[in-house]
Structure 1
Amino acid sequence: MANDIEQAKRPVSAVLAGPYGHPFHPILVTVPIGAWVSGLVFDIGSRIVDDPGFLARGSLWLSAIGVVGALAAALVGTLDLLAIPTGTPAFRTGLTHMSLNVAVTAAYAIGFFWRRAAADGPGPVGAGPLVLSAVSLVVLAASGYLGGKLAYHYGVRVAAESTQAEGYRSAAGS
Structure 2
Amino acid sequence: MQADLQHAKRPVSAALAGPYGHPFHPIMVTVPIGAWVSSLVFDIASRFVDDPDFLAKGSLWLIGLGVVGALAAATVGFLDLLAIPTGTATYRTALVHMTLNLAVTLAYVVNFLWRRVGNGPTGPVPIGPIALSITCLAVLVISGYLGGKLAYHYGVRVADERTQAEGYRKTSEEH
TM-score (norm 1): 0.97
**2:94–2:146 contact (8 Å) kept in structure 1:** yes
Match of residue 122 from structure 2:
122
In the alignment, the residues of structure 1 paired with residue 118 and residue 139 of structure 2 have an alpha-carbon distance, to the nearest angstrom, of 24
In the alignment, the residues of structure 2 paired with residue 147 and residue 7 of structure 1 have an alpha-carbon distance, to the nearest angstrom, of 18
1:78 corresponds to 2:78:
yes
Q: For 1:1-174, what aligned pairs fall within 5 Å after superposition?
A: 1-120=1-120, 122-172=122-172
2:19 corresponds to which letter in structure 1?
A: P
In the alignment, the residues of structure 2 paired with residue 81 and residue 132 of structure 1 have an alpha-carbon distance, to the nearest angstrom, of 28
In the alignment, the residues of structure 2 paired with residue 148 and residue 34 of structure 1 have an alpha-carbon distance, to the nearest angstrom, of 17
Shift of 1:172: 1.8
When the two chains are superposed, the root-mean-square deviation of aligned CA atoms in Å is: 1.3
1:67 corresponds to which letter in structure 2?
A: V
1:126 corresponds to which letter in structure 2?
A: P
| More displaced stretch, 117-126 vs 84-93 | 117-126
Label 1:124 to 1:78 Cα distance change in 2 as closer, same or farther (>3 A): same
What is the aligned length?
A: 174
Shift of 1:122: 3.2
**1:90–1:154 contact (8 Å) kept in structure 2:** yes
User: 5+ unaligned residues in a row in structure 1: which ranges?
Assistant: none
2:167 corresponds to which letter in structure 1?
A: G
| More displaced stretch, 112-121 vs 69-78 | 112-121
2:23 corresponds to which letter in structure 1?
A: P
Question: Which secondary structure does the structure 1 equivalent of 2:135 belong to?
Answer: helix
Label 1:141 to 1:118 Cα distance change in 2 as closer, same or farther (>3 A): farther
**1:51–1:122 contact (8 Å) kept in structure 2:** no
Instruction: Report percent identity of matched pairs.
Output: 70
User: 5+ unaligned residues in a row in structure 2: which ranges?
Assistant: none
TM-score (norm 2): 0.96
Shift of 1:148: 0.1
Question: Which secondary structure does the structure 2 equivalent of 1:117 belong to?
Answer: coil
Runs of 4+ in structure 1 deviating by more than 4 angstroms, as ranges, are 118-121
Question: Which secondary structure does the structure 2 equivalent of 1:159 belong to?
Answer: coil
| More displaced stretch, 41-50 vs 89-98 | 41-50
Shift of 1:168: 1.0
Shift of 1:51: 1.0
